[in-house]
Structure 1
Amino acid sequence: MLCKKCGTKLKDGHVYCEKCGEPVQIVPDFNPLDEAVLENVAGMMNPEEKSASDWKAIQEKPVQEKTVHTHSKPQSKALTPRRKLWILGIAVTLLITGGAVGFLTYRNHSYTYQFQKAQEYRDKQKISRAIEYLERAMELKPEDPAAYETLVEIYTEQHEDEQAVVVLEHMIDEGLATVEEYEELIGFYKKDERMSDIPDLILDCTDQNIRKELSVYMVSAPDVDLAPGIYYKNVEIELLADKGEIYYTFDGSQPTHKSHLYVRPIMLREGKNTIRAVAVSEDGYYSQDITLEYEIKLDQ
């Protein structure tokens, strides 16, 4: 590079001429990239000064059309007769299945249905089936005595007294029995020679009206003229009853009408004596029995 004043060649890096002292003016090399950057900056500052060629190029650029997506409902196909029949068949099947399920649910959980079926089978003399339906009815509605009463009737007709007694005793335990059921059970007890069970049956009844009605089956227990205890001499006891006869045992077993008939005072033996006695009415009904214990000591 030469000095503009004296023409002396300047050394690189010097800002003054060594010969004349003239300041050196540095002219940068042309860079087209710098020019483009300057033009763009100028365009941003004054967008209206863009060259016509640039705007033309932009205007001539093809515009890409936007794709518009539309979601239209697919057109429903017309149902053919075959397809209609197929759908109708499914609907009928579902209807029948639902009805069957509903009927089975009703049948298995309906007391009325079970009871009616039991009556039908009873009329047809299919007793085992009738009993099955009655037992199911009692499970569904244990507080209703109708099924129990019908079951007792069937067992009685079939001469299955033990089964009838079981049902009647259950009705009494559950508080479902009326006077009629009590009297029916008393009849079975008398037939089976279970007369000694009748007093407890009546006395255990909590319904005072029923107990009053059943008082005709009650017999007063016998009494004794000598209190139980230890005696140091020979003694005899006398048994008393308001009505009926007295039967007794010496071994502590339960007395019946087949035991010793009381006809005169009983002489007690030396040692321990256990006497059980019961009163029996003319109709064969028993009282509650009494137990008497005595000990006779003669060597004291």
Structure 2
Amino acid sequence: MKCKKCGADVVNGKVYCTNCGAEIQIVPDYNALDDDISNGFRNKSEEKREQTPTKKTGIKEPIQEKKKQPWDKKKKALFIVLGIVCVVAIVFGISMFVTNQKNEKSFAFQRDMAQEYYDNRMFEKALKCIDKAISLDQENMDAKLLRADILKELGQEKEMINTLLSVIDADPENYEAYKRLVDAYSANRDYSSMQKIKQGVTDEKILDLFVGYVPSTPKFKVKPGSYDTRIMLEISTDSTSQIFYTVDGKSPVSNGLAYTQEIKLDEGVTTVKAVATNEYGIYSEVVEGEYNIKLAVPDKPVVSLPSGTYTEEKQVEITVPTGCVAYYTWDGSTPNESATRYRGPFKILKGNNVLSVIVVNDSHQASDVARFNYIYYPQEETVEEE
């Protein structure tokens, strides 16, 4: 072994050089042949590694740094952009999914889907959707009308009618519901049910739907009430129906008389009931009216000439109210309709006479008697007596 510092030979086992005193580091003797052999093996090993695929040995090989190229930065930016786009797409997809879930639970969505299924004649699916829609908004009448249309296509007529009846119960002026019901009842010739839904209807447009099916309710030309004259009562209905009536308060359906002319109502209280029936045997609503007639007694007649003594001829004129006739007597008796009828001014009689006058109206009600005492003697006769 040689000293690394001075190159002198060092005795084995010594730790200091005996020549220069330097510390001895024990290293093998240098041999150039060893370097050549070592380098040869290393070169062959590297050639073999290049020809054979690298296997994982658990030993990390040194990584050679590559020089970054300019396009690497663009690729990195592209990856970042693509990543952002993917995140946005995922967020949007989740948002749309949540929105669709909410929409499926909305009235508008279910109604629109029901309409779409109905238009495409997918009636079973349409019914499921419209039922969901109605459960979300039970006050929507249009949805119920669509449900009735769907049920009609499915042949579920009874359920369709019940649905339409629920509509007019909630909305008594729903024209479309009445129209569908009239069509359904007409197709089945169920005129009695048609008559029931007509009761209480006042809307003229809706009433027009029933023309030809249910007769119109009879109308009294004179309104019920109290009157002081006799009444000739006229009853009317549509031209294709027959009227039956009673004046004793009984039902005109089972006890009515056929109406052919005006009904004369006399003094007293009279209850008139009338009903109309058509060719289908369907009766209208019964109309009823009470008439209380208390005939008015004419006022006592007015006579132009007062009672008194007269020496000159005088005429008597009686004021007769419209619709009345005056009757009179000269003997003091109470006149009646058999007495002398007043037709114009007349002269007083000679002597001492009592004129009695009454007025009779068209109901044959007579006024109180008006009496006048006339003493008439011409002047010439008076002088001769003296």
TM-score by length of 2: 0.36
Greater length-normalized contact order (CA 8 Å, ≥ 6 residues apart): 1
